[in-house]
Chains A and B, each alone.
Chain A
């Protein structure tokens, strides 16, 4: 195994997204981008795979309208290098477009043995990029992977499905989409964060990925993005603990919940 690529998405941290109570629109101002949590397990899967093939190159891959700031964070999580494609045209990219760009980057890299995606992203959770990428590259797709082992160029993978676990074998090259339980995603150490500054990040263009500007035109027209009306009352029972608890117990008893 010579080259392992891990795809990741740079997404807003939804814990800091607020809803404008009047317009029901999302207030994204306080929300900072971060590496999609699911992809952190994907990056660590790459690190574990590379540990078995120390001569292999581990590459982080991403694309989007403003992904350059992601590279340091990604590199602190293990890849030797990151290839990113920053293009404002990707602001409204759906899985159709994103998977084409990722496939273009993987082709640009050449001879990638294993492409690792995660199950989905915390913003849209469409769960499409892995299998789409496989179909575009002509690689087999193995999705919902919860365990990985390797013997030479043959991977043995556990897939966690609704009915149970399916164990499969497949020869590289392959695209695998890993579930969060595939491995832990450790928080990068200070040493790793400092080390990331010395690793290279390579900017690519659409032309590098073999795509024209037309090929990434948004396919989908977004009519609206609105938060549904919350039916929850969000009653603040106060900060005086005994008093708040007494109010809560009375309320729950009244609703027949105790």
Chain B
């Protein structure tokens, strides 16, 4: 059986991918490549890899600069499967590797099964509205995998294996600065209750009414993509959806949100979803636990009164 590679954004994610490789590969040799130093490589071996390469973040070049060296090695080693983190750097590397290897690459794959001639994988369509199950015949199949998709195996410090690194050739892209992410003012991901604002709230001045509802409920306020990115009524960190925040509150109240799949992806783990949207057939109403198909401007003030009185 041919090897399974894992290429990870960080050590915890390498643990996830190693566990995934072990469960998918059933005895295949696991070769790991991890962003970090020798210590990280050794730690990945303790978590199930047979051999590990550390790829330290270069000071003056993007980490993605390892892609050519990884591609050279993959061409020579011909792994059956390469699992990569769904992080942005690893997605870029995955796509570049796939292009050089002329190989299929599944983004955010689930239920990955190795077959005689390739693999079968499930991926998401329309932000999670549907699941597509595909099969492919290929020498190497690449799949990017989420940080929590597999439970890492307990570390076994007695395991040992070769540790190395890969060369980083001088590339055309130079890093001239790195700035850590600014502290967020709201932590929607950790909020217990969230009220979401959508395009149905047609005027910026009306946000105050929605904020009153949030205050009455003890909720944070988030929004759909157009509110943050097009209208800029709220900061970008408030935008909930597939390329924004993914939240898991006990209660999510959608005010004037159409419920496009991209938005729903960000709230699908909410326990209870309430939608207020005058279009009865809107996706948001149909994907909520409870909905009121009426003008939000009539509903929300009434709801504030009722919540305060409850």
Q: Tell me if A223 counts as interface (CB < 8 A to partner B).
A: yes
Name the segment of B37-45, B96-104, B202-210 touching the other chain.
B96-104
Q: How many residues of B contact A (CB 8 A)?
A: 86
Known contacts being A15-B260, A122-B126, A236-B293, is A131 close to B95, with CB within 8 Å? Answer: yes
A254 CB, min distance to chain B CBs, angstroms: 11
A8 to B130 alpha-carbon distance, docked (Å):
23
Q: Which residues of B contact A212 (CB under 8 A)?
A: none
- Bound complex: CA of A134 vs CA of B9, how far in Å? 21
A221 B288 Cβ-Cβ under 8 A: no
User: Is B306 in contact with A125, judged by CB distance below 8 angstroms?
Assistant: no
What secondary structure prevails in chain A residues at the interface with B? mixed
Query: Known: A143-B92, A227-B130, A234-B287. Contact between A96 and B174, CB under 8 A?
Result: no
Question: Which of B129, B251, B288 has the most chain A CB atoms inside 10 A of its CB?
Answer: B129
Asked, given contacts A26-B130, A130-B95, whether A245 binds B125 with beta carbons under 8 Å apart, the answer is: no
Q: Does A108 contact B (CB under 8 A)?
A: no
Q: How large is the interface on A (under 10, 10 to 19, 20 to 34, 35 or more residues)?
A: 35 or more
Contacts of B124 in A (CB 8 A): 125
- Knowing A119-B243, A245-B302 touch, does A143 contact B99 (C-beta < 8 A)? no
Which chain A residues border B273 with CB–CB below 8 Å?
A: 232
Known A-B contacts A181-B229, A249-B307; A99 and B99 likewise in contact (beta carbons under 8 Å):
yes
Q: Kindly identify, within residues 232 to 258 of chain A, every residue whose CB is under 8 Å from any CB belonging to chain B.
A: 232-239, 241-242, 244-246, 248-249, 251-253, 255, 257-258
- Point out the residue from B120, B133, B250, B291 that lies within 8 Å of A237, measured CB to CB: B291
Q: Is A222 an interface residue (CB 8 A)?
A: yes
The minimal Cβ–Cβ distance linking B168 to chain A, given in whole angstroms, is 14
Q: Which B residues touch A133, using CB under 8 A?
A: 99
| Whole-angstrom CA separation of A244 from B286 in the bound complex | 16
Residue A169 at the chain B interface, CB threshold 8 Å: yes
Q: Determine the main DSSP class of B at the interface with A.
A: mixed
Inter-chain contacts of A168 with B (CB < 8 A) = 62, 173-176
Chain B neighbourhood of A160, CB < 8 A: 88
- Contact B129–A17 (Cβ < 8 Å): yes
List, in ascending order, chain B residues with CB within 8 A of A241's CB.
Answer: 292, 294, 298-299, 302
CA distance A120 to B107 in the complex (A): 11
Cβ of B290 and Cβ of A237 under 8 Å apart?
yes
A124 and B107 form a contact (CB under 8 A): yes
Contact (Cβ within 8 A) B306 A245: yes
Contacts A168-B173, A223-B120, A227-B130 known; 14 new A-B pairs at CB < 8 A: A15-B260, A15-B283, A96-B102, A96-B103, A128-B98, A140-B173, A160-B88, A161-B88, A164-B180, A168-B174, A235-B289, A235-B290, A244-B292, A253-B310
User: Interface of A with B (CB < 8 Å)?
Assistant: 14-15, 17, 19, 26, 94-96, 99, 119-120, 122-136, 140-144, 156, 159-171, 174, 179-181, 184-185, 219-228, 230, 232-239, 241-242, 244-246, 248-249, 251-253, 255, 257-258
Q: List 30 A-B contacts (CB under 8 A).
A: A14-B261, A26-B126, A95-B105, A96-B105, A119-B243, A125-B124, A127-B91, A128-B94, A128-B98, A129-B95, A132-B95, A140-B171, A140-B172, A161-B88, A162-B9, A163-B178, A164-B178, A167-B179, A171-B172, A180-B243, A184-B229, A223-B134, A225-B133, A235-B291, A241-B298, A246-B306, A249-B303, A251-B290, A252-B274, A257-B250
- Lowest 4 A-B CB distances belong to which pairs? A135-B99, A131-B95, A128-B95, A132-B99
